[in-house]
Amino acid sequence: MGGNLMKFRSILAGAALALTAASGSLADKTKVGFVYVGPVGDGGWTYEHDQARKAVVAKFGDKVETMYVESVPEGPDSERVMTDMALKGADLIFTTSFGYMDPTINVAAKFPNVKFEHATGYKMADNVSIYSARFYEGRAVQGHIAGHMTKSNIVGYIGSFPIPEVIRGINAAYIHAKDVNPDVQFKIIWAYTWFDPTKEADAAKVLIEQGADVVLQHTDSTAPQAAAQAAGNVITFGQASDMSEYGPKPRVSSIIDNWAPYYIARTQAVMDGTWSSTSTWDGIGAGMVGIGEITSAVPADVKASAEALLARLRDGSYHAFTGPVNKQDGSAWLARGETADDGTLLGMGFYVQGIDSEMPN
Amino acid sequence: MDLSAISPTLLVASLMVASTPILLASIGELVVEKSGVLNLGVEGMMIVGAICGFAAAVLTGSPMIGFLCAALGGAAISLIFAVLTQYFLSNQVATGLALTLFGLGLSALLGQSYVGIKPPTTYKLDLPLISDIPILGPILFSHDFTVYAALSLVAGVWWFLKYTRSGLILRAVGESHDAAHALGYKVVRVRVMSIMFGGACAGLGGAALSLVRVPQWTEGMTAGSGWIALAIVVFASWKPERILLGAYLFGGVAVLQLNLQAAGVSIPVEYLSMSPYLITIIVLVAMSANRAKSALNAPAALSRVFHASR
C-alpha cells in the first residue's frame, strides 16, 4: 500500500518536476529529503527526526523544500527511495537508520552532486557524511537510576539488532547499574526490529514475567511502556523521544534525541556551498542527547545523584566508559582511569564483564 | 542460562493471551470452511477489525464498542467476498487473496491518524481471592475478557456443529452443496452467513491484537497472524477442539521463543520461529498420506463453486 501510494506520488512529482524544470521556478530552493525507518507517529526515533525536519522548515521557510518517506525497510528497497529523492532534485538527503548504510553509499556513488547524511553508521564518502549521538551517555544515566530503583535486581533490556550502537547502550547501562548495585542482573531480548509494537510488547511482558522491574528499550515504539504500565510496579525510560505521556510512572526519565541544530547547520552548509564530508558524534554536552525530566517516582537522593552524573557527563569531566572495565570473557579492556577511544566504541561488538547473556551472531 | 527464571504458570497464562487473536480468527475460518468456502482473506479481515476496533474504542472511550465495531467491520469486509464468490461465482482463492491485500491497504488508510495513540484499557478479570490462587489463579482467572470470549466461542462452535440441526445443515452444505440444495436448503444463504461469521471472528481477533495484546495501532500489525489462522484450521483437520490445541501451540512457540532468549539460552531463535510451520507441513503430509482419511476430514465441497442450475 505505502509503496504503491509512493509510486503514484513519485509519478506526480516526476510530472511536476518536468514542468518546473521547464519553467525553472524552483531553482533557488534547497531540497532536503529524509528517509525514515518507522512512521512519523511512532512517538520515538522517527518522530524526533521529523521534529528536526520541521525545525528546518521553520528556520528556512520558503528557501527550503523538504520531502520524506516513512517506514522504509532497511536494505535494498531503501535504495529505490533514495534514488527517487535524488531524481526529484534533492540537494541533501538524510538517511536516518543504521540499515541504510550500504544503500546510502551505493546511491551516493550514482549521484555525486547530491549530499548524503547517514545516521549511526560508519561508512563515509566524498558526498556522504555520518552523524550520530552519544546515546550511551544517556544510557549511563538510565543504568544509574535502574540500579538504584530495581528491587528484584533484574533489569530487562529490549534490544533491536546486535549492532555497535545498541551494544554500547547495553554496556553503558550495565556498568552504571552495577556501580550502584553489585547484585544487578541484565536480561536481554533481541526483537530484530526497530519498530514492531507487537513484538516489543511481547518482549516487555516476558521480561516482566521473568522478574524484571525495570525495562530499558532500544526499540522505537511506546508499546513496552504500555506493557509496563499494565503490569504495575515496573519502571521504564522513554527511548529517542520523551514519551512523557507514560510519566510519571512507568516512564521515569528518557533519552531525547535532538537533531534539529545539526539538520539546520547541514542544510545551511549546503545553501552556502560549504558542505563537506564530516563525521559528527555529539553527546549530552553538545545538546544532541537530552535527558527527559526525572519524575517524582524516583526518590530525591537517586534523582540528585543521577543529575550529578549527568552534569559530569555534560561538562566532560567524566567519560561513560572509564576503566577499570573488563570484557565479558574476563580479558582486560580499560585500565583504571583509562577511557574508551571512539574507534573501539564505534565498532563495539562485545559485552562487558558481568553481563550473563550470549551475544547472537 | 537460567531456565528456572521461566515460570511455567506465567508461560501458560501469557501464551493464552498471545494465542487469542489467532484462536478467534481460526475458529471463524473453521466455520467458513465447514460450509464449503475457502476464504484466504483472514489476514485482511483481521487487520480491518484491528483498526475499526481501535478507532471506535479511541473515539468512544469504550473498549466494548471497539470490539463490537471490530466484529462489524470484519463482517462488512467479508460481505464483499461473500457477494463476489456466492452471487458472482468468482474464484474463491483469488478473491480471498484480493481481500487480504485490500484489507491491508484499507486499514493503513483508515489508521493514518491513529498511529501512536493510547487506547482505553480493556477490562481485566480480577476476582479477589480467586485470582490469587497459586497456579490456577493466573492461568484461569486473571485474563481480559477476550480470552474467555474466545474459549466460549470455540465451545459454542463445537456444540453448534455437533449437536444442532443448523450445524448439521451447515456441514451438509459444505460436504455436498448439490445434495443440500436438492433437499431444499438455501446453500448460498448458509454460506453467506458463515462467511460473515468468519469475518466477525477475524475482526474480533484483530481487535484483540490492537486493543489488548499490544495495545496500539500500527500499519500491518497483524504480521501474518491471518495466515497462521488458516494453517491452524488445516492443522486441526477441521475439528473445533483441535483448533484450541493448534492456536495454543502456535501462540506458545512465539512466547517460549522470547522466554528462552531472556533466560539466556543460545539456540538461534529462527528455529523456534519456524517450528509451527514445520509442524503444520508434517501434519499436512501425514494427513494426505492416507487418502481415505484425509477425504473424511476436509469438507468435500471446499472451495467448489455452487450454482443452482437444476
Range of the domain at A208: 135-257+288-346
- Grid cell 526497530 — which residue? A194
pLDDT in tens, B60-99: 999 999 999 999 999 999 999 999 999 999 999 999 999 9
List residues in chain A touching B: CB distance below 8 A.
1-2, 4, 39, 41-43, 47, 71, 156, 187-190, 192, 195-198, 201-203, 205-207, 209-211, 221-223, 226, 230, 245, 356-358, 360
Considering the domain architecture, whether residues A232 and A274 belong to the same structural domain is answered as: no
Alpha-carbon span A359 to A349, nearest angstrom: 9
Per-residue H/E/C for chain B: CCHHHCCHHHHHHHHHHHHHHHHHHHHHHHHHHHCCCCCCCHHHHHHHHHHHHHHHHHHHCCHHHHHHHHHHHHHHHHHHHHHHHHHCCCCHHHHHHHHHHHHHHHHHHHCHHHCCCCCCCCCECCCCCHHHCCCHHHHHCCCEHHHHHHHHHHHHHHHHHHHCHHHHHHHHHHHCHHHHHHCCCCHHHHHHHHHHHHHHHHHHHHHHHHHHHCCCCCCCCCCCHHHHHHHHHHHCCCCHHHHHHHHHHHHHHHHHHHHHHHCCCCCCHHHHHHHHHHHHHHHHHHHHHCHHHHHHHCCCCCCCCCCCCC
Sign of CA dihedral A288, A293, A298, A304: positive
- Closest approach of A327 to chain B, Cα-based (Å): 18
Considering the domain architecture, whether residues A196 and A299 belong to the same structural domain is answered as: yes
Are residues A250 and A156 in contact, defined by beta-carbon separation less than 8 angstroms? no
CB contact under 8 A, A221 and B218: yes
> Which of B115, B213, B263 lies at the smallest CB-CB distance from A198?
B213
**pLDDT averaged over chain A?**
89
CB contact under 8 A, A189 and B261: yes
CB contact under 8 A, B216 and A39: no
Considering the domain architecture, whether residues A71 and A120 belong to the same structural domain is answered as: yes
CB contact under 8 A, B116 and A196: no
Return residues 257-296 of B near A (CB < 8 Å): 258-259, 261-264, 266, 268-269
Domain boundaries, chain B: 3-297
> Which of A1, A71, A197 lies at the smallest CB-CB distance from B216?
A197
The residue ranges of chain B whose pLDDT is under 50 are none
User: According to the model, what pLDDT value does residue A8 have?
Assistant: 47
* Residue A16: pLDDT band with limits 50, 70, 90: very low
The total number of structural domains that make up chain A: 2
> Which of A41, A192, A210 lies at the smallest CB-CB distance from B116?
A41
CB contact under 8 A, B259 and A360: no
A7: helix, coil or strand?
A: helix
> Which of B5, B108, B268 lies at the smallest CB-CB distance from A210?
B5
Alpha-helical segments (H) within chain A: 2-23, 45-60, 76-87, 101-110, 135-149, 164-180, 197-209, 223-231, 260-272, 300-315, 342-346
Considering the domain architecture, whether residues A139 and A107 belong to the same structural domain is answered as: no
Which phi-psi region, left, alpha or beta, contains residue B37 (left: φ > 0; alpha: ψ -120 to 50)? beta
A77: helix, coil or strand?
A: helix
CB contact under 8 A, A210 and B259: yes
Q: Is residue A3 one of the residues assigned to a domain? A: no
Considering the domain architecture, whether residues A63 and A179 belong to the same structural domain is answered as: no
> Which of A189, A198, A209 lies at the smallest CB-CB distance from B10?
A209
Are residues A283 and A134 in contact, defined by beta-carbon separation less than 8 angstroms? yes
CB contact under 8 A, A197 and B104: no
Q: Is residue A236 one of the residues assigned to a domain? A: yes
Any A CB within 8 A of B18 CB: yes
CB contact under 8 A, A189 and B266: no
A12: helix, coil or strand?
A: helix
Any A CB within 8 A of B4 CB: no
Helix (H) or strand (E) holding A117: strand A115-119
CATH number at residue A65: 3.40.50.2300
- Closest approach of B22 to chain A, Cα-based (Å): 14
Considering the domain architecture, whether residues A327 and A232 belong to the same structural domain is answered as: yes
- Closest approach of B215 to chain A, Cα-based (Å): 7
Considering the domain architecture, whether residues A207 and A243 belong to the same structural domain is answered as: yes
User: According to the model, what pLDDT value does residue A17 have?
Assistant: 47
Considering the domain architecture, whether residues A310 and A172 belong to the same structural domain is answered as: yes
Q: CB count, 10 Å around CB of B149?
A: 16
* DSSP string covering A257-271: E--HHHHHHHHHHHH
Are residues B7 and A207 in contact, defined by beta-carbon separation less than 8 angstroms? no
Q: Which residues of A touch B142 (CB under 8 A)?
A: none
Considering the domain architecture, whether residues A294 and A162 belong to the same structural domain is answered as: yes
pLDDT at A1 exceeding the cut of 70: no
pLDDT in tens, A160-198: 999 999 999 999 999 999 999 999 999 999 988 888 888
C-alpha closest to that of B42 among B212, B274, B234, B180 = B234
pLDDT in tens, A248-278: 889 999 999 999 999 999 999 999 999 999 9
Report ipTM (2 d.p.). 0.82
Return residues 115-154 of B near A (CB < 8 Å): 115-116, 118, 121
CB contact under 8 A, A206 and B262: yes
C-alpha closest to that of B243 among B234, B252, B255 = B234
CB contact under 8 A, B258 and A203: yes
> Which of B6, B115, B223 lies at the smallest CB-CB distance from A210?
B6
Considering the domain architecture, whether residues A148 and A266 belong to the same structural domain is answered as: no
pTM more than 0.95? no
CB contact under 8 A, A2 and B262: no
Considering the domain architecture, whether residues A246 and A320 belong to the same structural domain is answered as: yes
- Closest approach of A182 to chain B, Cα-based (Å): 19
User: According to the model, what pLDDT value does residue B10 have?
Assistant: 84
Amino acid at A12: L
User: According to the model, what pLDDT value does residue B296 have?
Assistant: 66
C-alpha closest to that of A249 among A149, A132, A335 = A149
Residue of B nearest to A157 (CA): B262
Sign of CA dihedral A80, A81, A87, A93: negative
Q: Is residue A200 one of the residues assigned to a domain? A: yes
Q: Is residue A62 one of the residues assigned to a domain? A: yes
Q: Is residue A9 one of the residues assigned to a domain? A: no
Considering the domain architecture, whether residues A223 and A195 belong to the same structural domain is answered as: yes
The class level of CATH for B3-297 reads mainly alpha
User: According to the model, what pLDDT value does residue B150 have?
Assistant: 95
